[in-house]
């Protein structure tokens, strides 16, 4: 019964934390595999900056989606810091960002808020 409870807590923790962490249950170790080190300011008003780990693959791209699914921006990673200007197409609300490899696999994702 106690083991089932621990697995349930572990599963909920993984779902809440998101795709930035990989957990090895057998060894009890947690390995952080974050490629996006910062996304700020959050909430954003006129711009948002993404900073990437030095090990990020330069073939990756950063995609930003409105919460309802519309792709707002796609930028290929060529620097360790990217500044996205939030023009008039970015309304107040929640946005999802995804770091995607060349095959289309999501490497990392997260969210940020725009307050205008």
pLDDT, one tens digit per residue, over 44-55 is 999 999 999 988
Strands 47-52 and 21-24: unpaired
Residue 104 and residue 47 in one domain: yes
Domain boundaries, position 104: 35-114
Number of structural domains, the chain? 2
Residue 99 and residue 84 in one domain: yes
28-37 per-position pLDDT tens digit: 554 546 799 9
- Greater model confidence, 9 or 86: 86
What is the DSSP secondary-structure string of 32-93? E--SEEEEESSSBSSEEEEEE-TT--TT-EEEEEETTS-EEEEEE--SSEEEEE--TT--SE
Strands 47-52 and 61-66: unpaired
* pTM exceeds 0.85 for this model: no
The residues with which 111 forms a beta bridge, in sequence order, are: 96
93-110 per-position pLDDT tens digit: 999 999 999 999 999 999
């Amino acid at each position: 019964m106690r083991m089932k409870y621990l697995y349930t807590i572990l599963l909920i923790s993984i779902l809440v934390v998101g795709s930035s962490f990989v957990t090895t249950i057998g060894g009890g170790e947690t390995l952080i595999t974050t490629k996006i080190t910062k996304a700020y300011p959050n909430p954003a008003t006129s711009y948002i900056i993404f900073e990437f780990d030095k090990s990020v693959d330069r073939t990756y791209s950063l995609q930003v989606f409105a919460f309802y699914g519309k792709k707002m921006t796609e930028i290929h990673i060529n620097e360790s810091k990217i500044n996205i200007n939030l023009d008039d197409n970015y309304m107040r609300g929640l946005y999802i960002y995804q770091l995607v490899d060349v095959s289309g696999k999501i490497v990392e994702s997260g969210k940020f808020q725009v307050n205008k």
